[in-house]
Amino acid sequence: MKPDKTPAALLDMVDADTMLRDVQDWAAINTGTANIDGLDRMAGVLADAFSVLPGDVELVEPAPVTAIAADGREFEKPHGRHMVLRVRPQAERRFVLTGHMDTVFPVDHSFQQVSWLDDDTINGPGTADMKGGLCVILNALKLFETCDDAGRVGYDVMINSDEETGSLASRDLIERLARGKYAALTYEPSALPDGTLAHARGGTGNYSITFTGRSAHAGRNPHEGRNAIVAASDLVLRIKALEAEDITVNPAKIEGGAANNVVPDHAVLRFNIRPKSTDAMNRFDGQLDAVLRAIEAEHEVGIHRHGGVTRPPKPVDERAQRLFDLVRDCGAELGQTIGWKSTGGVCDGNNIAACGVPVVDTMGVRGGAIHSPDEFMIVPSLRERAALSALVLAKLSTGDHL
């Protein structure tokens, strides 16, 4: 006989001690996005852990990704494999749950250890962002599989290796798994330590623009040179002038040049944009093309554009709002007060929402100070969030909630 699945029963079924041990063990594995060996080890650990669920686990090769070196050379950037679990793929109603195994801390970073800050809080790399969230996915699905209606629905779990650098090696995979799903849950940590969810999100794009000019002696014949640094600087001013209420532009770095007495024939400008709407994103793209053509002509330099929008803005439509409301109501049944706020941050939830799938993308643990050596996870939230997700999935499995 299946156990009673009241909210209190779900909480009682969570093995919080095992969850904590898993988070500590997983955080001890360095998975900086560039640490392919560490990511490969982590992918194997996750594949073993998720194999207890009734589906097929696959380690998926990353899609090819290129980047621009400081000398303007385009090169292929290696990434780790992604883990995918498919459960009941023939079910009429299916969900997708996503997370990432990579962190922002490279293998040579000083922040590698997990320690206790107090009786309820641990400090460690990726504990909140998001080894804790991965543990919540696993244990929420274990709970969900004990529910009477679990067999009526299916789901995919995708844990990628490159979220922290924009998910370029997994974007197609995310979109392929998201299409046609009834709902999606993503396990970034809560927006605030009290469990507040991220609501609407802006988008983001990263660009590298390479300028090829002509070198010359800065004293004898500077007029024969074509200064790539000047052209790049002109672009900085022009793109900054494209800022509006619905988009910000952050010129971040200019690389290039040589000795002070040489007209520089090479430069690379790197910048980031944060559009708040799809209209702003598309408008900037067209404006940038026009500006590049003008600079190319006026400065007589060659220009190569690399990059673009990696995560489109994520508005919250009616179906997505109903999913937020459902999460809030399930939280209330579990004694958790859950609200939400809009944020300028981005994550894989942006890409999922662009597929027309309602998503709540901060279903992970409560914590904070992510991307810093002060990163922390609130340990009781492992139990809270696992029960919350299990209850949300149980509710989504019956009726028309969205």
CATH architecture of residue range(s) 204-311: 2-Layer Sandwich (3.30)
Q: Average pLDDT for residues 122-143, to the nearest whole number?
A: 98
Distances (CA, A) of 279 to 44, 285, 313, 321: 41, 10, 10, 21
pLDDT for res 258 = 87
Q: Average pLDDT for residues 289-303, to the nearest whole number?
A: 98
Residue intervals in the chain for CATH 3.40.630.10:
7-201+314-396
Closest CA to 338 of 393, 392, 396: 392
Ordered DSSP codes for 288-337: HHHHHHHHHHHHT-EEEEEEEEEE--B---HHHHHHHHHHHHHHHHTT--
Q: Average pLDDT for residues 303-311, to the nearest whole number?
A: 97
pLDDT for res 6 = 79
Answer whether CATH 3.40.630.10 is correct for domain 7-201+314-396.
yes
**Residue 364 C-beta-side C-alpha neighbours within 13 Å:** 31
- pTM (2 decimals)? 0.95
Q: Average pLDDT for residues 363-368, to the nearest whole number?
A: 98
pLDDT at 3 over 60: no
Place of tokens 């589906």: 55
Q: What is the pLDDT of residues 140-190, one digit of tens each?
A: 999 999 998 899 999 999 999 999 999 999 999 999 999 999 999 999 999
Q: What is the pLDDT of residues 48-107, one digit of tens each?
A: 999 999 999 999 999 999 999 999 999 999 999 999 999 999 999 999 999 999 999 999
Q: Average pLDDT for residues 111-122, to the nearest whole number?
A: 98
Residue intervals in the chain for CATH 3.30.70.360:
204-311
Band (pLDDT 50/70/90 cuts) for residue 5 is low
Q: What is the pLDDT of residues 213-223, one digit of tens each?
A: 999 999 999 99
What's the distance, CA 298 to chain centroid?
Answer: 39
pLDDT for res 391 = 96
Q: What is the pLDDT of residues 14-38, one digit of tens each?
A: 999 999 999 999 999 999 999 999 9
pLDDT for res 2 = 43
Q: What is the pLDDT of residues 316-348, one digit of tens each?
A: 999 999 999 999 999 999 999 999 999 989 999
